[in-house]
């Protein structure tokens, strides 16, 4: 099975989205917008390299980006709801436990709206290429083909999914208290693992939609709420 032409065209559109984010970020920076985070050429380059993962994914047992056997609810709706639920939990923990006092400025994980839509949309894509779209299919293809003679090996997928899902929660671990350490690691690991599962079963867009749902509420929606109250 190979990646369809439509899937490659959709992914090319995602690369274009990142280029728009880069251009707008540079423009806003030139206009003196303070504390602006930018999406750089290195991010665009990594996302473009993700085309290799799109091409290899169907060859290693993953659903194609636009697999006809997958419904739009499975590909887009269900994972979006999952991501929103993870984000809702994070927002509640933040405002009830980590930062119960009123928020009086945009926090480091927030950016001005509507630029935040572009930045965190591109950021979600970057993270999913880095942690899933490139490493899992590429390693499955290499290890499966040359060591196991089966690039679709289910056990190999779960091993790689489990290991790759550790990286982000360990990098972003909240260490304020034992309870927050447990929550931060458990929620981060479970979300990453679910993304890998949705990616394999329903295609890359399904895994990405979980992160987009999370970012839509945690970064964009929460940030807009703070901006409106300033």
- The total number of structural domains that make up the chain: 1
Vertex 73 angle, CA 123 and 196, to 5°: 45
Q: What is the pLDDT of residues 16-73, one digit of tens each?
A: 999 999 999 999 999 988 889 999 999 999 999 999 999 999 999 999 999 999 999 9
* 104 contact partners, CB below 8 Å, separation of at least 6: 230
Domain extent at residue 185: 5-229
What percentage of the chain carries pLDDT values higher than 70? 99
Predicted structure pTM score: 0.95
* Distance of alpha carbon 55 from alpha carbon 143, whole angstroms: 17
Give the highest mean pLDDT range of 97-111, 144-158, 161-175, 203-217.
Answer: 203-217
Q: Is the pLDDT confidence value at 1 over 70?
A: no
Mean pLDDT of 173-180: 88
* Distance of alpha carbon 26 from alpha carbon 120, whole angstroms: 15
Lowest mean pLDDT among 37-46, 56-65, 97-106, 184-193: 97-106
């Amino acid at each position: 099975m190979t990646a369809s032409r439509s899937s490659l065209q959709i992914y090319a559109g995602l690369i274009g989205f990142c280029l728009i984010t880069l251009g707008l970020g540079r423009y806003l920076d030139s206009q003196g917008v303070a504390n602006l985070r930018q999406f750089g050429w290195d991010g665009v380059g990594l996302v473009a390299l993700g085309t290799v993962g799109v091409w290899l994914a169907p060859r290693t047992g993953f659903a194609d980006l636009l697999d006809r056997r997958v419904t739009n609810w499975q590909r887009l709706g269900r994972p979006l709801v999952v991501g929103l639920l993870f984000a809702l939990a994070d927002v509640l923990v933040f405002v009830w436990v980590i930062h119960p006092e009123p928020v009086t400025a945009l926090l480091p994980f927030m950016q001005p709206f509507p630029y935040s839509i572009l930045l965190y949309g591109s950021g979600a894509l970057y993270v999913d290429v880095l942690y899933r779209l490139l490493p899992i299919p590429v390693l499955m293809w290499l290890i499966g083909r040359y060591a196991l003679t089966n690039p679709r090996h289910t056990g190999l997928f779960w091993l790689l999914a489990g290991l790759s899902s550790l990286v982000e929660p360990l990098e972003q671990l909240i260490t304020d208290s034992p309870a927050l350490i447990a929550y931060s690691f458990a929620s981060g690991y479970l979300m990453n693992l679910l993304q890998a599962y949705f990616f394999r079963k329903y295609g890359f867009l399904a895994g990405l939609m979980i992160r987009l749902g999370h970012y839509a509420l945690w970064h964009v929606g929460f940030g807009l709420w703070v901006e409106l109250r300033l």
